[in-house]
Chains A and B, each alone.
Chain A
Amino acid sequence: MEQLLEMVRKVSDKSEIYLVDSRGDSVSFEDAHLKDIEGRIQSGISLRIIKNATLGFAYTKNLMNRKELIQNALDSLKGGVEGLFELPLTSNLPSVDTYDPSIETLTNSAMVEECGRVCEFLSQKIKGQINMSASRTMSRLRIVNSSGTDLSLKSSAYFLHTEILYPYSSASLHRTLVSKTFKKARDEYLNFLADTYNQSEKEVSPDGRKMKVLFLPETIYVLMWRLQNATSGQSIYQNISPVTEKIGQKIFDEKLSIYNDPLNDSLPHARAFDDEGTPCSHFPLVDMGVLKNFYYDLYFATKLKTSPTGHGFKGSVSSKPAPSLSHLCITPGNKSFSDLVQSMDRGIIIAGALGAHSGNIPNGDFSIGVAPGIYVEKGEIVGHVKDVMAAGNIYDILKNVVEIENTLHPCFGGNFPSLLFDNVNVTIKK
């Protein structure tokens, strides 16, 4: 890597090398039986160079041919992509504990046994089909740039994902456990899935209209996706955000505080620096309903003549950094999940969302298939309902937060509680 940096320095004004190595294994169960075991050993290197205020980028998997990588980066300068930003000099970062060495000795056999144990536990309680997976990953990341930054990070992660499927469907109640190394799934985690499934097993056909809607943590990403889009430095720069002029204004219910929490190392993949070497920090996005900040990477911060906020992350080695809220959280409330259900006179629990990626995301609109949708009447789950759509706009419904669950659950898109809203449009086919 040092040799590469030396070669790059000779042909560019500024340069940055990003290196990642990862390996891992995953086991998956379908219908409570082992279906697959896969392994992965992957590496990748990407290179950004700036020459005459123009940005070049290239990537490869193996550092077999340094000259070709550098030539690809030099070739990409010809397009004239603007490269006006400075690469940061970052050091003395807060320490984050991201690696548990015991992950190295976790065997696939142990993950298979844990999945088998969970399937056995649930099979005794429910009739539904059980699918699940467990995986471990170990990765190393290093970022070196011509400003003198040399940062590295070693991470470990263990995931256990459990689904209980409703008949004739792949719609499921599901929840994920994450940690830095193996942890046995607690009864509390499994009982939530089993009890909620059993209560909702019967198919019911209520009428649709405006009603209370409880988004489980696993579906909060539908709402946060729209907010992330609106508060990204890229949307602000492109002038397509509906909240461009609303910093300091109340946009949501005061019960809602939303923040990025990359330094929280109780979960895997905590980060003290982003993929450009900019320091990360606790970052309030919405505080008690008031919009506080937009988030930036180096490129868009420079475009907008503001400071980077440590949110430049790459989707993969082959992509350039872009503004991203990688560790999103919502401040928990003070009601348990069962309290939230009890406070619903009539409504739907959205346990799975279909089509979150469609609809007018920049505008904050969503219109999702609810699968599964769990129907609640008089504070009790009475069944699951099919052919349901829930629709709205986040700038309307996030003003109508009834209650927030008191526990955060790691799931796709962040670390979220369940959120209960009132007056959401629900369409149900009769």
Chain B
Amino acid sequence: MFETLRSMISKATAHYADIRYEIKKETKIVFNGKELFHIGSNSTDGFVIRILKDGGLSSIAFTRADDTETAVRIAEENAVLMARYVNSPVKFAKTEVVKDKFLPDIDEDPRHVLIDEKLQLTQNYNSIALKHEKIATTDIQYSEVIREKYFMSTEGTEIREDLVTTSIGGLITSKDGTLTQNVRVAVGGSKGFALLRNQEEEFEKKTVIALDLLNATRVAGGTYNVVLNPDLAGVFTHEAFGHFSEADLIEDSPTMREKMQIGVSLGNEVLSITDDPTMPRQLGFYCYDDEGVKAKPVPLMKLGVLVGRLHSRRTAAAFGEGLTGHCIAEDYRYAPIVRMGNIFIEPGKNTIENLLAMLDDGLYILDHKGGQTSGENFTFGAQYGYIIKGGTIRNMIRDINISGNLYHTLKNITAVGNDLVLSKTGGCGKGQLNIRSCSGGPHILINNVVIGGM
């Protein structure tokens, strides 16, 4: 394959070009309620070429090898146009030339599991919720995405890497009269098909929550002190903080760069945050990014002080900071952008009981239901929660959406738990979908959080 790719980028006259070819194999099985809605395996492929010429960087994605000459011509013309207008010439930070083949070590390769067995397992999990009268429907999906990647650059790098991602999950919807409630369920990861086995307990637990939510009370809007469980702490870390550690998001925002300077104290001294794509067995694991840079762990915040950020070759050069290996594409349809790998708050010393006692009166909220950020503001939903009175868990609450200001909230995280849980499925949509976006943390206590009740 590399011979073919070499021949394709040899058509470029630029001093730097790279090409990524990917074969993407997907298997999907979807149940809507009891009915099988979809089943099938398919394979697609395509190319992305990037050209750096005269200080202009441009990319093109295409699906037919026959279009190579046209694609290279368009990308070169666009790079030259970029160079004419760009504020300062684009440079790439220097990286090691690598020739490597990295096929991850996984427990049970899903490519070797028959689709009948995948169907049976998905059907078994789906049926757990459907046994209950007040479960109106489910939307449970088996998803297997295998990216077989070939990367080559004119600097001499040649990397072959596979990313294998499997999950079973979706929505469980309960209904009582006109009231519907839903809960998300997900199991899976990057470590092979074995992760999907013996997960009945998770589907049973989420079914009970969906049923209990029919009798939960709506949270009243207002400002609360809250304890977030590890899943929500992870989503907060990803949405509110993590995106602004992605250098490309702040590169051209003078006001955000002013706020996010390395060395400033942004958070409470209990708070340390790291992104580490090299953690084995975790969802966000990879060896090389889609620029051929080896991934490495990056401390982002240490005891409340900003100490690092995530980079592509372009942003590392623009910021004058070190390469981190965080430039990732969704697939062959996209040029890579800066993404998080496994981002998490480092655990502290408090047990959950300590945290609830410190909270005294407030809310304990659990499991995310989507999240979004807009600079200093963030919003994310929680699937359920409890009122806490005198440090004790009381009534279940529902319809919880949290909003906040990044900088205030980082200061308002006053205590961190001693547990650490990372997410098993992901789906960050920063222009492209990253299904391996992984976040986590321990339980955390935050003061003064805005909850938008109904």
- A contact residues vs B (CB 8 Å cutoff): 25, 30-31, 33-44, 56-62, 68, 72-73, 75-76, 78-82, 108-109, 112, 116, 129, 131, 165-171, 208, 234, 238-240, 242, 318, 320, 352, 354-360, 362-363, 365, 367-369, 371, 386-393, 425, 427-430
Contacts and interface: CB of A to CB of B under 8 A. Distances in A.
B374 A318 contact: no
Interface residues of B, number: 92
Interface string B353-383: 0000000000000001111111111111100
B223 A169 contact: no
Contacts of A428: 450
A33 B83 CA distance: 12
B44 A59 contact: yes
A62 B404 CA distance: 46
B81 interface: yes
Nearest to B28: A318
B279 interface: no
B138 to A, nearest CB: 9
B403 A387 contact: yes
B379 A389 contact: yes
A369 B375 contact: no
Interface stretch (B178-186, B280-288, B291-299): B178-186
A371 B85 contact: no
A362 B139 CA distance: 13
B391 to A, nearest CB: 24
A170 to B, nearest CB: 4
> By CB atoms of chain A within 10 A, which of B40, B45, B181 has the most?
B40
Contacts of A68: 43
Contacts of B115: 75, 78-79
10 contacts: A37-B58, A38-B335, A61-B45, A61-B46, A73-B40, A79-B40, A168-B259, A240-B175, A354-B373, A357-B370
Given A31-B252, A367-B399, A318 B42 contact: yes
Of B33, B85, B223, the most chain A CB neighbours within 10 A belong to B85
Nearest to B49: A39
A37 to B, nearest CB: 4
Given A41-B63, A391-B454, A425-B221, A170 B375 contact: yes
A38 B26 CA distance: 26
A211 to B, nearest CB: 13
B428 interface: no
B45 A242 contact: no
B61 interface: yes
B401 A359 contact: yes
Interface string B70-88: 1100110111011001110
A358 B375 CA distance: 19
B435 interface: no
Contacts of A390: 452
Given A25-B78, A39-B58, A367-B400, 15 more contacts: A38-B59, A39-B71, A40-B61, A56-B40, A75-B40, A78-B116, A238-B136, A355-B403, A358-B370, A358-B381, A362-B180, A389-B450, A391-B454, A392-B454, A429-B404
A55 B252 CA distance: 49
Interface in B117-162: 119, 136-137
Given A31-B253, A42-B61, A358 B380 contact: yes
B452 A389 contact: yes
Interface in B16-62: 26, 29, 32-33, 35-46, 56-62
B451 interface: yes
A238 B38 CA distance: 16
B75 A39 contact: yes
A363 B180 CA distance: 6
B423 interface: no
Contact of A354 (B60, B137, B178, B403): B403
B198 interface: no
A33 B179 contact: no
B254 interface: yes
A391 B452 contact: yes
A108 B76 CA distance: 12
Given A367-B453, A425-B454, A387 B404 contact: yes
Nearest to B45: A61
B394 to A, nearest CB: 22
A357 B256 CA distance: 26
A170 B260 CA distance: 14
B334 to A, nearest CB: 9
Contacts of A391: 221, 401, 452-454
Contacts of A60: 42-44
Contacts of B57: 36
A428 B450 CA distance: 8
Given A61-B46, A358-B401, A427-B451, A242 B40 contact: no
B255 A129 contact: yes
B44 A318 contact: yes
B179 A363 contact: yes
A72 B63 contact: no
Contacts of B33: 238
B61 A41 contact: yes
Contact of B223 (A79, A359, A430): A430
Contacts of A355: 370-372, 379-381, 401, 403
B74 to A, nearest CB: 5
A33 B253 CA distance: 11
B454 A393 contact: yes
B229 interface: no
B112 interface: no
A76 B39 contact: yes
Interface string B376-419: 11111100000000000000001111011100100000000000
Given A169-B376, A234-B32, A427-B453, A41 B64 contact: yes
A133 to B, nearest CB: 11
Contact of B26 (A43, A318, A359, A430): A318
A360 B401 CA distance: 10
A100 to B, nearest CB: 21
A354 B67 CA distance: 40
Nearest to A354: B379
Contact of B405 (A41, A386, A393): A386
B333 interface: yes
B178 A240 contact: no
B42 A81 contact: no
A368 B259 CA distance: 25
A41 B180 contact: no
Please name the 5 residue pairs, one residue from A and one from B, whose CB atoms are nearest each other, closest first: A358-B381, A389-B452, A369-B379, A169-B375, A79-B39
A77 to B, nearest CB: 9
Contacts of B61: 38-42
B222 interface: yes
Contact of A168 (B29, B175, B376, B400): B376
B255 A168 contact: yes
Contacts of A58: 40, 42
Given A389-B403, A391-B454, A75 B41 contact: yes
Contacts of A171: 374-375, 377
A367 B454 contact: yes
Contacts of A79: 29, 36, 39-40, 115, 119
B37 A369 contact: no
Contacts of A30: 251-253
A240 B26 contact: no
B173 interface: yes
Given A39-B60, A391-B221, A320 B249 contact: no
A63 to B, nearest CB: 10
Interface in B256-297: 256, 258-259
B350 interface: no
Contact of B81 (A108, A356, A369): A108
A34 B60 contact: no
A429 B87 contact: no
Contact of A170 (B36, B43, B253, B259): B253
Contacts of B221: 208, 389, 391, 425, 427
